[in-house]
Amino acid sequence: MTATNTLAGKTIVVTGATSGIGRATATALAARGAGIIGVGRSPQRCEETREAIVAAHPEAQISFCLADLSSQQQIRALALEIERRLLERGEKKLDVLVNNAGAVSRWYVVTEDGYELQFAVNHLAPFLLTHELLPLLRNAPAARVITVSSGSHYNTRVHWPDVMLRHTYHCLTAYKQSKLANVLFTEEFNRRIGRETHIRAYAADPGLVNTQIGTKGTGGLISWWWSRHSARGVTPEKGAETVIFLASDPAVAATPSSYWKDCRPKLPSRYARNAAHAARLWELSERLCGIADPEGLSETALRAATSGASR
Ligand SMILES: NC(=O)c1ccc[n+]([C@@H]2O[C@H](COP(=O)([O-])OP(=O)(O)OC[C@H]3O[C@@H](n4cnc5c(N)ncnc54)[C@H](OP(=O)(O)O)[C@@H]3O)[C@@H](O)[C@H]2O)c1
């Protein structure tokens, strides 16, 4: 950690750091000297990951926070815990937030907040965590918010009449929509917040990566298909390269592009570039996260998200 120690003094939060792309990202960034706060949902996997990273890189500064990102209450508690840890070290800034955690669910699962699981974990969690960590990100000289999206966002749309897909749930449809939401969020973040601050948001497309994501909440045919399909993918270390690049390379800031693949800018889908769709999703997400309505989520917002009232 000397010549390539470009990240010394920087603090980076990586969600979903206990496996796959997130674990590879946390390992590589810790090896380059960043202080890493990993986020995981299992105490055992968090500890096992922390020990493995420290064993490989004895100077690594890495700790973990526990949170189930399907729960908005836990996301808010997570943000407070991150702030507490930073203050303990005398720090008031967060340099990079990597929204990597993601899930696939074969079944229509409703979270404790009443939302479809993939929409909640893959989109609303990055949206809310970013919002909660904004004060810390604002304090960094050039903060970055990186959300791990996917090439599956091409050829899909937001199903406005039934965003939670309650009436027409299909695992892949929900996954693709949530990854499109990652790009719409990134574009809108740069329009709303990027313009008036030094925080820039990026969506990273890792390509096909050989991880277990498609076998965790699925089973049966989908799990079997994913095992075979993902075997053709790159390693998590290779898949993490664009995320690591966006988190660490100073040259990124010179390029206006928000969507990146293979460490290069790439045009996201036409739908993702539509500012009206992005603004609409942003406003819906605010309501679903109880941000716009301090009294909590209104009945109207819930109906708009689940039944067709927002048509
Ligand atoms: N693999 C690919 O081909 C591919 C392609 C494009 C995009 N992506 C995206 O890359 C990201 C990482 O996926 P991956 O392929 O590396 O899969 P992975 O190995 O399954 O990693 C997903 C991570 O998210 C965590 N996670 C899932 N649900 C969570 C929850 N409710 N609360 C907190 N943490 C949760 C998992 O925790 P556990 O360790 O406890 O399971 C794990 O650490 C995802 O956003 C995914 O959509 C993947």
For ligand 1, whether the C-beta of 209 sits within 6 Å is: yes
Give the pLDDT confidence score for residue 310 in this predicted structure: 36
User: Using a 6 Å cutoff on CB, does residue 76 contact ligand 1?
Assistant: no
CA dihedral sign, ordered 196, 191, 162, 172: negative
Joined tokens for residue 121: 């974990």
- Per the annotation, the verdict on 175 as an active-site residue is yes
Taking a C-beta distance cutoff of 8 angstroms, is the pair 75, 124 a contact?
no
Q: Name which of 206, 203, 180 is nearest 262 in CA terms.
A: 206
Specify if 52 maps to a domain.
yes
Closest-CA residue to 187 (of 159, 155, 152, 145) = 145
Report the pLDDT averaged over residues 72-89. 97
List, for residues 21-30, the tens digit of each pLDDT value.
999 999 999 9
Number of domains observed in the structure of the chain = 1
Residue 242: CB within 6 Å of ligand 1? Answer: no
For residue 98, the one-letter residue type is V
* Catalytic site residue from 115, 175, 202, 259: 175
Task: Give the angle 61-126-239 at the CA atoms, nearest 5°.
Answer: 65
Point out the least confidently predicted range of 2-6, 137-141, 253-257: 2-6
Residue 304: inside a domain: no
Contact 258, 202 (CB under 8 A): yes
Question: Is residue 234 included in any domain, yes or no?
Answer: yes
Nearest to 6 by CA among 137, 139, 95: 95
Tokens representing 118? 């993939």
Residue 43 lies in a domain: yes
Q: What is the mean pLDDT of the chain?
A: 92
Looking at residue 95, its pLDDT comes to 98
- Nearest 5°: phi and psi at 309? -70, -20
How much of the chain is in helix, strand and coil states, percent to nearest 5? 50, 15, 40
**Residue range(s) defining the domain that contains residue 121:** 11-273
Provide the residue type at 32 as one letter: R
- Residue 299 located in a structural domain: no
Using alpha carbons, list the distances in angstroms from residue 238 to 23, 43, 130, 223, 234.
12, 26, 26, 22, 6
Query: Degrees (nearest 5) of the Cα angle 108, 170, 161?
Result: 85
- Residue 244 belongs to a domain with what CATH number? 3.40.50.720
| Residue 202 falls in which region: left (phi positive, over 0), alpha (psi -120 to 50) or beta | beta
Is 260 a residue whose pLDDT tops 50? yes
Query: Is the confidence at residue 224, as pLDDT, over 70?
Result: yes
69, part of any domain: yes
Residue 311 included in any domain? no
Residue closest by Cα to atom 44 of ligand 1: 102
Q: Indicate whether 305 belongs to any domain.
A: no
